[in-house]
């Protein structure tokens, strides 16, 4: 009889253990039912925010590429001014932009044609360096054409004629 009692005690303990495990699993399942949708929504929002951030960077790059032969255009200047905001964590791009910006603000004050030509050549070089830095970040081939822009000559772009 003591063997039966022990067996009954073991069976009761196993049944109790199974019941506890089932209750724990049910609690975890209930918690997951409430937590998973919140996590999925949070992850979806993070993905959308990252996509929007990349799209803004891409828009700046596309604008700069499209207007690289007309650096005095309003669109080009606006895109340049957005670099500090959209690429604030990108050191290589910020450095290239700082070099380019300083150069743009150093237009030769004298009328020496060679100085103006040198300044124009450096302008194209620094813009190309900036575009190359952005293209690398966005995953484009770094062999994008540097001098392949179509240029048109208008009164707004007189310095390209130098």
Our count of domains for the chain comes to: 1
**Residue 134: Cβ within 10 Å count:** 25
Full-model pTM: 0.68
The distance in angstroms from the start CA to the end CA of the chain is: 112
What pLDDT digit, counting tens, does each position of 51-62 carry?
A: 999 999 999 999
160 touches 147 (CB < 8 A) = no
**What is the structure's pLDDT at 153?**
42
Tokens found for residue 23: 């209750």
**What is the structure's pLDDT at 112?**
86
Percent of the chain with pLDDT over 90: 46
| Residue-number span of the structural domain to which 109 is assigned | 2-161
């Amino acid at each position: 009889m003591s063997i039966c009692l022990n067996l009954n005690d073991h069976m009761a303990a196993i049944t109790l253990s199974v019941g506890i495990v089932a209750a724990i699993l049910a609690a975890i399942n209930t918690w997951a039912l409430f937590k998973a949708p919140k996590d999925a929504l949070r992850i979806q929002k993070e993905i959308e925010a990252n996509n929007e951030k990349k799209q803004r960077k891409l828009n700046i790059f596309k604008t700069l590429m499209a207007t690289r032969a007309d650096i005095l255009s309003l669109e080009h200047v606006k895109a340049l001014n957005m670099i500090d905001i959209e690429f604030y964590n990108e050191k290589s791009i910020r450095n290239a932009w700082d070099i380019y910006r300083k150069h743009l603000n150093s237009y030769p004050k004298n009328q020496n044609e060679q100085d103006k030509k040198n300044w124009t050549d450096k302008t194209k070089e620094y813009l190309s360096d900036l575009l190359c830095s952005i293209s690398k970040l966005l995953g484009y081939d770094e062999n994008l054409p540097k001098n392949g822009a179509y240029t048109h000559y208008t009164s707004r772009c007189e310095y390209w004629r130098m």
